Structure 1
Amino acid sequence: MNAGAAQVSGAMRAEIASSWRRAGMSGLRPDSGLDRLSIVEFDPDSRLRVAATPVLDALAERLIGTTLCVALADSACRIVDRRFTDLRTERALDRISAVPGAQFTEENVGTNALGTPLEVLRGVTVHGREHYVDALKKFSCYGHPIRNPVTRRIEGVLDITGVAPEANPLFAPLLQRAVEDIEQRLWEGARQSEKRLLQAFQQTARHRCRAVVAFGDELVLSNRAALDLLDPTDHAVLRDIASTAPSSGELARDLVLDSGAPVSLRALKVGGTSDGVLVELTPRSRTRIPRGRAAARSRSSTPDDRLAGLRTSREPVLITGEPGSGRTRAAMLVAGPRAEVLDAADVVVLGKRAWAERLDSVTAGALVVERIELLPGTLCARLVRRLAEGPRVVLTSAPEADLPDVVRSAAAICPARVDLPALRNRHDEFAGIARAVLTDLRPGADLRIAPSALEALIAQPWPGNVRELREVLRTIAERRTTGDITVQDLPAAYRSPGRAARLTGRERAERDAIVEALRITGGNKVHAAQHLGISRTTLYNRMRAFGLPR
């Protein structure tokens, strides 16, 4: 622990001491400068800002003639508004980067009345000397979290700051009343939002032949046509797809429902609502494809369809994907259950010579060579010769972009290739994948994943892909043998849909890029930041904003 952090002692309040420890563990130092904090974009018309603006205006009136400042931060701890009436206060805030768009998390600036209340989920007073970073010690402040009265989620934090060694005891009641006013306005806005969603739903659902579903933050509306068409598990998939609809215009795509019915989907954001989306579904044919025939659900581009088409091929096949994405299962589907299997990871145990002899010993039937990215150059050359000579060979590897140059020669010889997508990118297929895993774990058991639990599972990042999903469901199946799997049956870390379920399309792409960079660099955040071309601080900020484990 550095010298500044060593000041933590029994005389310091417990909540402040804990905050100092968190700041020290994030790599921050007391002498860290705050003049170059990253500034990120935020939505100026967010429901938080709309609800808070009149309250902040009223507070600004009360601040006239003082050197106090009021700051509003969102749930990602980005400052989205601030109010003051003294130019000296404005300059002082600018010098510590307390400006709109700056993220005042504890990782960035240490103990403060925006980031610390978000960590402890309650109001916190921070006196001047209690700030972790020296640049903040001239200020004293009080911050209080703002909860959405409908969802009970934290929407942001309201803070009042003054230039003084001790925070005024009147800060807390003044700010708590302001927070109550903001929460009341959020409640009223939610009611208005629900009314607008209902009006849009009623107007669209007038045509009885059209299936219509409306999704709000805590509300789902469905007409009779949609009830007849949709299975419960479809709602989780539809909500996930609807969340990617653009703010203007519409999202249109084709998909296959859980029942096997192919439909065309049209999703539109509902104006005047926080996140309301209207979804219209039009059947593309009146013939439903049986649920059990998942490989034939009018989705010829799915990985399983392509694998099935390769079973009779005599050419070398390359199957790529992230660890846990089902490469071994895919290889055996193509090669057949009697195929000989060689794993490149066994070179370390067997030695290069013995491994090469096993490779050469397979002269008939099919051969599966797994994890070819681990092969040394000499064995790659040996494998290339075997691909030219026969027998039929199926290779598995990491994504092609991650293959060492020496391995690319073997991959290049394979004319048939199947790239297995990561589970986090298979939202449309997630319900079917989860059901297949459950059936494999508990054949014949009457188990079903409830829509709310499925929604929570779909929203997870799944760094371990299908393998991770299998372990989660295995844990549940050991405790429950029949009935619905609910959110409460899920492990604690998987119960909340988390921030990922509320990301825009652009934010999902950014989140996926970060996950991919961390995978490529083996979790090394310094190297991941370099790979992405951003600072380590920015990487930590984005990971926190997207709910990624740090």
Structure 2
Amino acid sequence: MAESFDNKLVGKAKESFLANLSEEKAESTELMASWQRSQAAIGDPGNIHDVPHVPESLLDEHLLDMFGAPLNRFAEDLEGTGLALLLADSRGQILERWAEDRQAESHLDRVGTVRGAVLAENVVGTNGVGTVATLGKPVQIRGTEHFADFYQDAVCTGAPVVHPLTKKLLAILTISCDMTPRSDLLKPLVRTMTSQLEQHVMSVEQPNSREMLNLFMEISRSRNVPVVAFGPSGAMIQSARAHTLAAHDMNLIRLLSEERRPTGSYMLELSTGPVRLDLTTVGPNNSVVVVGDSADRRARTPQPKPLTSNAGRSPEWLAVANQVDRARMVAEPVLLVGETGVGKTSLALKTPYVAGYMTTSVLCDAAERHIIGSREWLTKLSGHLSSDAVVVVRGIETLDAPALDGMRALIETQPSPIPIIMTFTTEDREAIRVNELRFAARSIFVPALRDHITDLPDLWQALAESTAPAARLVPTPETMSLLMTYSWPGNVKELRRLISQLASSGKTGSVLPSDLPAAMQSSKTLSMIERVELEAIRKALQEAKGNRVKAADILGVSRATVYRKMKAYRISGE
């Protein structure tokens, strides 16, 4: 029971166990077995200094789409409890976190649990995410039962979400909080939550529900509007834009879908006024609702302008744009490589018409394989390859080796080769080389926003006109100065999200420094020397794959200096 748990005593027991561990020693408990696995993979617990992260582009957004709505409801019930909710994929990568009060948010920040954090057992040791993935069963890890020292004041209670039919591990749901004497109540709570998520999976596994899910994903990607899908037994899936809808409005939309009206457009009075809803019914119990703009605003609101790939005039950007333009004219595979959010897919898809170019493109999202399966995804890709369009395959980093080899076989057996552009989010040179050889492809490297920062004013204007034309958001000179010195770890994707958040908050007209997030407000204008120093540290960290000790050796400075400079320049080291 949690009441008799002695954190210090368990800590001493762990130290003794690890110190005297031998290959012949029997493993008397699952916890000790986890400690042994952690030591074999990591060594001493002191070797774990922080939590590694992966780029957001590598995360399975489809899992978040599927489970986001029920988890939002679960999280609302946790408000004021100090309990935080985590959703991880089967590899222990955090897809999203929910912290509904300050205590829960502070707890997650303190232990470094953010979106993209990797909590696999062989990376950070025994914990309530990675150990669940390893054992495939509910686990509670308290205080010093964790392998890493920085978790010694935390309780992590996790359980697997498995497919009800195939029994495949889909995700891990974990409740994380500070040490509490009533942690014994958390295990049945998280089991109840995972049971409901598994029922949610079943509700979208029927043929009509699969068709509904595919339609939802297609609309969500192609239109920047709220999209909501409803399935049997009240199952609901929301796009990112739909999360901005008020709870009252969402209930009204749900009621409309439950009336089983035929496919068509309907006017509904929401909190923002009369709004047009485009309803598509898929079978008897499934529907997809697209939420349009309010009727009175549509009459006077400028329509969004499409964002083209030419929103930038720097030599660095134009050189890449020209390379991509030429790639669309050549019937051969090309890898479009870069960090997350740099605009790889936009470059591949949105080329202005020029005589001789293929102007039509089809997008095949590699992440869909995790929803529909490899065979169905490859069949879908084969159909695209038989068309006359430029085929863009988004996110090949999400594919495993068999899927990549299947894709290569399809490309090699096409009777009439066509241009194929594959976006690849990675900084691993060896992975790039391997895929260049696999596909007989050449690579085009898309620069990070910080490497063509002079394009920021043009990008802001293009994104503001495309995302929120009615808001007419224009940064003041002081604001633009701060934005120009910000590091933009999320690149253009982060800029788009900033503009959307400002518009969603009701901001219009001039954007002041005080309107920016705290991290951007604290930016300062860097001198030439500081810019050179900042870039040197970034490159050293990249070469050292985030290892700060190795980066210090590369730079010829002490580790303390690297830590101090990283803090001063707000470098994450990821």
TM-score surpassing 0.5? Answer: no
> Larger Cα Rg: Structure 1 or Structure 2?
1
When normalised by structure 1's length, the TM-score is: 0.40
